[in-house]
Amino acid sequence: MSAHQEEPSTSHIPVIILTAKSEESDIITGLEVGADDYIAKPFSPKILTARIRAVLRRSNLPIKDDQAIIRIHEFIIHPGRHEVLIAGKPVQLTFTEFKILHLLSRRAGWVFSRYQIVDVVRGDDYAVTDRSVDVQIVSLRKKLGKSGKAIETVRGVGYRFKE
């Protein structure tokens, strides 16, 4: 039994192994020690995304409704109204800023790469540079004032909303 399965606080979290090892014995070992899926390089980002979604569907992890009101820290985020309140005061955000905040807050603690953020906000066929996401984050933090500290930069990876 793997350490992942022995720890009750993490045993519900799906595990996907991404590796350069593609031998049959490596795949079998990875799956037998508790991985939910095994993906050998090279792989397409679209295939990876589809396999992650499949593992999440099989895991029955609760996925927050896209339209559910989110209450976290001093934030109230109402997707149906496209409304953000901080300590009861409204904050005016652009469409893109709102989508980024909504994405990050729905999965507080999870790190999203710049490309994942673009895929959710604009779709996977949207051409974008890393810098344009950074500019959106800077603008979003500025509009959120001191509450903007809830959006953390994870160097070399992307961004996350503090839990």
pTM: 0.61
Average pLDDT over residues 28-45: 85
Residue-averaged pLDDT of the chain: 83
Question: Residue 15 half-sphere exposure, CB side, CA atoms within 13 Å?
Answer: 15
| Residues 9-41: b if buried by 16+ CB within 10 A, e if exposed | eeeeebbebeeeeeeeeebeebeeeebbbbbee
* pLDDT tens track for 75-98: 999 998 999 999 999 999 999 999
**Which residue did the predictor score with more confidence, 1 or 10?**
10
Token digits of residue 29:
């070992």
Find the mean pLDDT for residues 119-125: 70
**pLDDT tens column, 93-118:** 999 999 999 999 988 899 988 888 88
State residue 9's pLDDT score.
64
pLDDT exceeds 70 at position 160: yes
What 8-state DSSP symbol labels residue 85? E
Task: Say yes or no to pLDDT of 44 above 90.
Answer: no
The per-residue pLDDT for 1 is 42
The full set of domains in the chain, from first to last, is: 3-59 (3.40.50.2300), 70-161 (1.10.10.10)
pLDDT at 3: 45
